[in-house]
Homo-oligomer: A and B are copies of this chain.
Amino acid sequence: MGSFKGHALPGSFFLVAGIWWAGKYSLWYATRRNKHIGSTRLTSRASQRRMEIFESSVMIFFSVVGMLAEQFLADGPKLQLYDFTEKHWEDLMNWQHATMYLFFGLAGTVSLITHTTDATPLALDRLMLALAFFNEGFLFFYHLHDRSMLDVHVHQLLLYAVFGEALVAFMEVFHRGNILLELLRCTLTILQGSWFWEIGFVLYPPRGPEWDLKDHSNVMFITMCYSWHLAFAMLIVSVLYWRVNCAVRSRLKRTPPMEMGLLKTGERDAESEDEVL
**Chain A residues proximal to chain B, CB less than 8 Å:** 29, 88-89, 92, 95-96, 99, 102-103, 106, 119-121, 123-124, 127, 131, 135, 138-139, 142-143, 145-146, 160, 173-175, 179-180, 184, 216-221, 223-224, 226-228, 230-231, 234, 241-242, 245
Contacts and interface: CB of A to CB of B under 8 A. Distances in A.
Given A180-B121, A220-B89, A231 B106 contact: yes
A135 B242 contact: no
B89 A223 contact: no
A208 B95 CA distance: 24
A220 B123 contact: no
Contacts of A241: 120
A180 B184 contact: no
Q: In the assembly, how many copies of this chain are there?
A: 4
A194 B153 CA distance: 32
Given A138-B227, A139-B224, A228-B99, A217 B127 contact: no
Contacts of A120: 241
A180 B127 contact: yes
A221 B82 CA distance: 10
A169 to B, nearest CB: 12
Contacts of A227: 99, 102-103, 135, 138-139
Nearest to A81: B221
A100 to B, nearest CB: 8
9 contacts: A92-B220, A95-B224, A96-B224, A106-B231, A121-B179, A121-B180, A131-B230, A131-B234, A135-B230
B175 A174 contact: yes
Contact of A119 (B88, B138, B173, B242): B242
